[in-house]
Chains A and B, each alone.
Chain A
Amino acid sequence: MRNTTYLPAVAGLALCATGAMAETPVLQVMTYDSFVTEWGPGPAVEAAFEAECACDLQFVGTGDGAALLARLQLEGPRTDADVVLGLDTNLTAAARETGLFAPHGVDADLDLPIAWTDAEFLPFDWGYFAFVANADATPVTSLQALADSDVKIVIQDPRSSTPGLGLLMWVQAAYGDEAPALWAELADNIITVTPGWSEAYGMFLEGEADAVLSYTTSPAYHLIAEEDDSKVAWGFDEGHYMQVEVAGKVAGTDQPELADQFMAFMVSDAFQSVIPTTNWMYPAVTPAGGLPDGFETLLTPETSLLLSPEDAAAKRDAALDAWRTALSQ
């Protein structure tokens, strides 16, 4: 097409421009919605990576972590995505089962409270689930104490939301076989269950509940972005369940080198320093400049709970049944 010299000059120029564009390799990163918004990490990450890769980094955003996995399963081996970013350890077993992922090959010095050995999925940030409440309320100190109290909470549905699934696993990891009994005691504290995080958090901010299931890092948003120190996360004696958010390289990618480069970039300072105040999570590798001011005020749990991906997948259905039975009484 570019040899068609008889075309008018303007059209010829346009075609040359398209040709030049086509030669810039495109790296497609499929991720969840809030990563790519203008308040999320997406724009800064894109600018930083494009500065060093001579490529075009394109984000494809879709729902939350669970929606991301469902989308990948729908697309199957035909997917255009080169990297999938935003799954968590409750989803990685199912993601691994699709057989769509290749080893990431990155050897990074991760700052996680737990050891990390997964060959296919590499963490980019992490956080602790916690109940967030107003600072002037009397703090509750454990899941059991919460169940015994008459504190009203709002939680998310594990069937439609990743934090909801996180709480399910939290209770499972802390109480094991006793989990159904704890859910039964918690039932009268739960005023309602919402489909997603936004509804629950919105209801809490409007005063509908005393506390909401969110993250230990949620008060950091209010403190740093709104200069409001009225929100705190309650520290629980049983320990706090972690959410570790990971990315994986798609095995069938047509840009394997770029995908590798992105995976390595993901644990570098340029990416990691953006995370705390855009994704409001802890970076997987603490950047050279340390964490932003305000993060030192956050709750640091003494015990970190996390089920392995295989364990989480194996226990999920039984835990969900117990949850549903206990809350349907």
Chain B
Amino acid sequence: MAHSAVPVTSRWPGVAAAALVLVLTLGTLGAVAWRAEWGGGLAAADWAAIRFTVLQALLSAFFSVVLAIPVARALARRRFRGRSLLITLLGAPFLLPVIVAVLGLLAIFGRGGIVNEGLEWLGLEPISIFGLHGVVLAHVFFNMPLAVRFILQGWLSIPAERFRLAASLNAPVGRLLEWPMLRAVVPSTFLVIFLICLTSFAVALTMGGGPRATTIELAIYQAVRFDFDLGRAALLACIQFGLCVVAAVLAWRVTGNDPMGSGMDRVVQRWDVARWGADYAIIICAALFLLLPLAMIILRGLPGIFDMPGTIWVAALRSVFVALGSSALCVVMCLALALRGGAMVSVIGVMPLAASGLVVGTGAFLLVFPFTRPSDVALFVTMLVNATLALPFALRSVAPAVGQVQADYGRLAMSLNLSGWSWMRLVVLPRVRRPLGFAAGLAAALSMGDLGVIALFAGQSEETLPLAMYRLMGAYRMDAAASAALLLVALSLALFWICDRGGRADADM
């Protein structure tokens, strides 16, 4: 790169990581298209699915981000006991398997849920949660935690020195510091959540109340499972990628530059925040919305937790192993890509989000099948795919930090002739350990709950915890499944907390 001085690191890890992402996204799509017999184009129902998909994804992303901003601001401005625990717990919904989260939400908003009981008590008409509003509500429940984390990171990345300067000049913090930070952080957060909701299938269908809530991903599912029309599946997957590219370009157009510069990483002390009541009210509302369904899941699963069959514990162990593997892989890939930087990395960083889970799984199956039995490589492929799927979130939080280090300390390092591993060890890694810990934790937790690839590949002896939970449900054992779900949530959160905490070991917050 000519315009800025960046110490030299090896090229090939970044290239290898990019290649892996391309194989697992476009490569698997290619494998599916290769096997397809091409027939007609899209039916009217497919167009309806595309329209509904975009509409619900836009609404979901909009509400997730808009609601997350005040919550992130309140959390950034306030210090209280249990704050760090609360921040970790608020992230839980994002890590829940779909069916678990849906049942948790229904316990609050469903027919016999707390909300309707309250309305009945007040003598009001009960509300139905099913419909477009239900889809959006569920997506906000899933994704607002992610938005809060990203935006909170944005707030915490404003150096304390800037706040002091603003305070001493009596300058407006909102316009000079917070607005530019939001301009830099919000568009990409919106993009990530839009793309997650773009590939939603089970949530949209279940909460949407019927086939009018058909998404592109469900249409792909139908093409593969119901019609065995791989051509249409590939075509729909291409449309999903196309929408992803359009959304990504739009998001980058409105993204502002982060003008903060470097600081000394001190704790931010704020002089400008007086009304603590509003902040705490916002935090309590968000906590109720996000944690009540979680509490219902805990209550439901707790009684049977020690009556679960032994195989569940074995499956849990296997899942932890897969999670740690894909977390390590994700962190390495993420660092390699972040160090390369550039537009290509930005594209690769969002591509896995637009990939259809079923197409990735089917394509990987077609790629692997000629060479080996799919069940033999089930856990390894699951690790690879999950590391790739978690990459967008990891990059989203690590890449800006790495870019910042390169901008702030690159020239100094060049003048000291610092490069390669020494540059990584002495400068980069210590300065990005917080986002890196977050990324590792997120990758581990997401991979714990994955039910995409493993369901296509696994035999009996490769059963992971989510798969075991789903199989329990399929065998009428809903109580045992609820306990397995609780174990899954607890393990995911524990893995996330350990990694995230590790990244913040000597930090002040």
Contact = CB atoms under 8 A, between A and B. Distances in A.
Interface stretch (A111-119, A195-203, A234-242): A195-203
A159 interface: yes
Contacts of B99: 198-199, 202
Given A160-B222, A192-B130, A328-B212, A37 B205 contact: no
Interface string A49-88: 0000000000111110011011101110010100000000
Interface stretch (A139-147, A205-213, A249-257): A205-213
Contact of B226 (A74, A160, A193, A221): A160
B230 to A, nearest CB: 9
B471 A37 contact: yes
B381 to A, nearest CB: 15
Interface stretch (B55-63, B333-341, B416-424, B475-483): B475-483
Contacts of A324: 45, 211, 214
Contacts of B212: 327-328
A190 B210 contact: yes
Contacts of A159: 218, 221-222, 225-226
A133 B212 CA distance: 26
Contacts of A206: 103, 106-107, 110, 112
B228 A70 contact: yes
Given A194-B206, A328-B211, A33 B473 contact: no
Interface of B is mostly: helix
Interface in A144-159: 152, 157-159
Given A195-B202, A328-B210, A66 B225 contact: yes
Contacts of B226: 66, 158-160
Question: Which of B106, B206, B459 has most A Cβ within 10 Å?
Answer: B206
B474 A197 contact: yes
A179 interface: no
A38 interface: yes
B460 A94 contact: no
A266 interface: no
B364 to A, nearest CB: 11
Contacts of A194: 205-206
Contacts of B207: 192
Contacts of A69: 228
Interface residues on B, range: 35 or more
B365 interface: yes
Contacts of B458: 61
Contact of B476 (A67, A80, A195, A201): A201
B311 A38 contact: yes
Contact of A70 (B202, B225, B478): B225
Contacts of A195: 201-202, 205-206, 218, 221
A160 B225 contact: yes
B482 to A, nearest CB: 9
A193 B206 CA distance: 6
A33 to B, nearest CB: 6
A66 to B, nearest CB: 5
Contacts of A75: 369
Nearest to A80: B373
29 contacts: A33-B474, A34-B475, A37-B471, A40-B475, A42-B460, A61-B459, A61-B460, A67-B225, A69-B228, A74-B366, A157-B218, A158-B226, A159-B218, A160-B226, A187-B210, A190-B209, A191-B111, A193-B209, A195-B202, A195-B206, A195-B221, A197-B474, A198-B473, A199-B99, A206-B110, A324-B45, A327-B210, A327-B211, A327-B212
Interface of A: 33-34, 36-40, 42, 59-63, 66-67, 69-71, 73-75, 78, 80, 94, 152, 157-160, 187, 190-199, 201-203, 205-209, 218, 221-222, 225, 280, 321, 323-324, 327-328
Given A195-B206, A205-B478, A328-B210, 9 more contacts: A62-B456, A187-B210, A191-B128, A191-B209, A193-B206, A193-B210, A197-B474, A206-B103, A327-B212
What 6 pairs across the A-B complex have the smallest Cβ distances? A198-B473, A159-B222, A328-B212, A207-B112, A39-B475, A34-B474
